[in-house]
Amino acid sequence: MKKYDLLRSGDSIIRVLELQGDRVLIIDCIKRTMPVWIGLDALESYSECTTGELSAVIGVTVVGADDLDADQRKIMYERYTMIAPILSFVADNRMRSRLICSAAEEHGVSKQTIRGYLCLYLIYMDVTALAPKRREDDRVLTQGEKNIRWALNKFFYTTKKQSLMTAYTMMLKEKYCDALGVLAEEYPSYYQFRYFYRKTRNLQNFYISRDGLKNYQRNNRPLTGEGVQEFAPAVGVGMFDATVCDIYLVNDTGSLVGRPILTACIDAYSGLCCGYSLSWEGGVYSLRGLMLNIISDKVSWCSRFGISIHREGWDCDMLPATFITDMGSEYTSENFEQIAELGVKVVNLPSYRPELKGLIEKFFDLVQESYKKHLKGKGVVEPDYQERGAHDYRKDACLTMMDFEKIILHCIIYYNSQRIIENFPYTEDMIAAQVKPYASQIWNWGKSQIGANLIEIGKRELMLTLLPRTTGRFSRSGLKVNKLRYYCEGYTEQYLSGGDVVVAYNPEDVTSVWLLEDGTYTEFTVIESRFEGKDLTAVQELQESQRAITRGAARDNLQAQINLAQHIEAIVGSGAGRGDVHMKNIRSTRKREQTKNHRDYMKEGTNRE
């Protein structure tokens, strides 16, 4: 008897897993129970057994790996991965139990499932025993059913959205008519066609084939997730999004400007609006304004608009440690993802999953519902604005951006501190603490709990992190960034040795750039003072204009060089043939020439006056 032998005694079949002196670790192949230690003398009545006998008794045949399809192999190895860490500790009951619990928790299955896989593998000592059985439909379709299935796939389950009757008619035309188009004597009835369709219909296939995958994901797929609870077990998960407000605004002179863009961040745990940005520009620009607003003191911010609030009503001046965004270009840009350097984790949700950030979608609905009913006839856009003959709501516009921002602030304050959240999942601790069902109260309580994940950051560091970056190069003439030269004390060695570096720059003012080294920012100032205070676009236009002028003068410059060469050649040609040069008495000759060509410049100047 040796390790891994199969032994049989009557109807009992066991496999030897370990030998230690007079003890043997065995597994009962019939009962499929966990391995146990027994005495060596208990196996005297057992004799060797083959795998074929085991399969005959159990009724399970282990097939070869080549006979498995891709799905079976995939599941087989997934199951083996679950039990692989346990195999080395099969003989240790305590460690084996601990690893079974750990594997069950890690893979999201029950402990009994792990035990079943482990026993099955130990019985056969073959990974193919873990492969699932292949399901086979014994019933073969008739030719008529095959024709119906063909017609459904070709004419019904398509984006053309043909009716069931049309698909039936096309099937008769293609399968049950002769060359002259005469219908055969025997053919399936429409009721048979419809019965087969209803019997085999798969709604997921129906929606995807006729409406497309995107429409299915947006409108038809099952909504079985927990939503925000999957992302927000505590305070510190911010959901970001932007929307175009349903109102037209004017400027201070009464001229129509258009509809503003509202960008906001909502804490997914409490529903608190952490910050907002109301602007005419979207994209990364509005995100910078939003970030600054999030970390601003809200009492001071509201006082700018003449609004007085208590700090506990909007006590948010730190960044959430996790950002939940959609696949908008501004959120997936390299510029925005630089914020991860502050310790923030950015999670981009998949397309067409609005329910995963339903809180911020609902925030926009609630805020706009709050002000629209009070601003009818003031530029508010009604649902019929795109219909034929609808009123032109642009003519009603009368509010400025400042007026509208005050209204938005009042709506957000109501949303945060007075709106009742009826369906919040209260815990026993929250009930004991008498937390009121307001977003601000839930936020204030959640900040004091273990797990709250907020990041305190200064405005300057935040803005430097969000600035766009480019590659700069050190040279003797300074640090060159965007074809401009910059200077800072203490970098003499870098100016002389050269090299590329990462630089953050502000497109709106080229006066300064910031060298990024080991997570720190060092400010460099532009050398050419004529560019101070200008934005990058204006500087590039100025540089391009200068290059255009230079390119325009290039032809004249070439012509001037040619003319110069011609003049010099003409003069040299007129002086040629004077004979040999006399080399004697150079000093006296030079003195005579000085006297001969000497001029009294003072006298000439006086005469001219």
HEC per residue, 551-582: HHHHHHHHHHHHHHHHHHHHHHHHCCCCCCCC
* Average of per-residue pLDDT across 545-550: 90
* Average of per-residue pLDDT across 15-41: 87
Residue for token pair 């508010």: 380
Q: What is the pLDDT of residue 233?
A: 81
CA 85 to chain centroid, in Å, comes to 34
Interior angle at CA 218, CA 215 and CA 222, nearest 5: 110
Residues 6+ apart with CB under 8 A from 473: 479, 480, 498, 499, 500, 501
The backbone torsions φ and ψ at residue 423, rounded to the nearest 5 degrees and listed phi first, read: -105, 20
Q: What is the pLDDT of residue 138?
A: 57
Q: Where are the beta strands (DSSP E) in 245-304?
A: 249-250, 256-258, 261-267, 273-279
Beta bridge partners of 264: 241, 276
| pLDDT band of 59, cuts 50, 70, 90 | low
Q: What is the pLDDT of residue 472?
A: 94
Is residue 241 within 8 A of residue 221, CB to CB? The reply is no
What span, in angstroms and rounded, lies between the C-alpha atoms of 285 and 463?
Answer: 11
Per-residue pLDDT tens over the stretch 418-431: 999 888 888 888 89
The two three-digit tokens of residue 379, written as one number: 């530029």
Per-residue pLDDT tens over the stretch 32-57: 888 888 888 888 888 888 888 887 77
What is the pairing mode between strands 345-348 and 322-325?
A: parallel
Residues 6+ apart with CB under 8 A from 456: 318, 319
DSSP 8-state secondary structure symbol assigned to residue 218: I
| pLDDT band of 389, cuts 50, 70, 90 | low
Mean pLDDT of the chain: 87
> Which of 103-111's residues contact partners 24+ apart within 8 Å by CB, and which partners?
107/82, 109/82
Per-residue pLDDT tens over the stretch 305-321: 999 999 999 999 999 99
CA distances from 223 to 98, 201, 271 (A): 35, 21, 21
What radius of gyration do the chain's Cα atoms show? Answer: 42
CA distances from 600 to 168, 190, 440, 589, 605 (A): 117, 123, 93, 21, 9
Of the given ranges (291-300, 351-360, 366-375, 560-569), which has the lowest mean pLDDT? Answer: 351-360
| pLDDT band of 575, cuts 50, 70, 90 | low
H or E element, residue 543: helix 536-574
Is residue 186 within 8 A of residue 161, CB to CB? The reply is no
Q: What is the pLDDT of residue 30?
A: 86
What span, in angstroms and rounded, lies between the C-alpha atoms of 532 and 539?
Answer: 10
Q: What is the pLDDT of residue 41?
A: 83
Q: Is 62 exposed, middle or buried (0-12, 13-18, 19+ CB in 10 A)?
A: middle
Q: Which residue has the higher pLDDT, 364 or 387?
A: 364
The two three-digit tokens of residue 405, written as one number: 């921002």
Share of the chain above pLDDT 70, in %: 93
Q: What is the pTM of this model?
A: 0.59
- 3-state helix, strand, coil split of the chain in percent (to 5) is 50, 15, 35
Residue 456's identity, in one-letter code, is E
What span, in angstroms and rounded, lies between the C-alpha atoms of 365 and 368?
Answer: 5
| pLDDT band of 577, cuts 50, 70, 90 | low
Q: What is the pLDDT of residue 579?
A: 63
Three-state DSSP state, 8: strand
Of the given ranges (144-148, 228-232, 276-280, 440-444), which has the lowest mean pLDDT? Answer: 228-232
H helices within 43-142, ranges in order? 51-58, 70-83, 93-107, 111-124
What span, in angstroms and rounded, lies between the C-alpha atoms of 321 and 339?
Answer: 10
Q: What is the pLDDT of residue 484?
A: 92
Q: What is the pLDDT of residue 50?
A: 84
Is residue 319 within 8 A of residue 342, CB to CB? The reply is yes
Of the given ranges (2-6, 403-407, 466-470), which has the lowest mean pLDDT? Answer: 2-6
Residue for token pair 């270009």: 329
Hey, which of 70-84, 210-224, 333-347 has the most confident mean pLDDT?
70-84
Of the given ranges (67-71, 303-307, 467-471), which has the lowest mean pLDDT? Answer: 67-71
Share of the chain above pLDDT 90, in %: 41
Looking at the predicted structure, is the pLDDT value of residue 263 above 80?
A: yes
Q: What is the pLDDT of residue 131?
A: 86
Residue for token pair 């990974």: 127
* Average of per-residue pLDDT across 528-533: 89
CA distances from 428 to 432, 448, 449, 463 (A): 6, 16, 13, 41
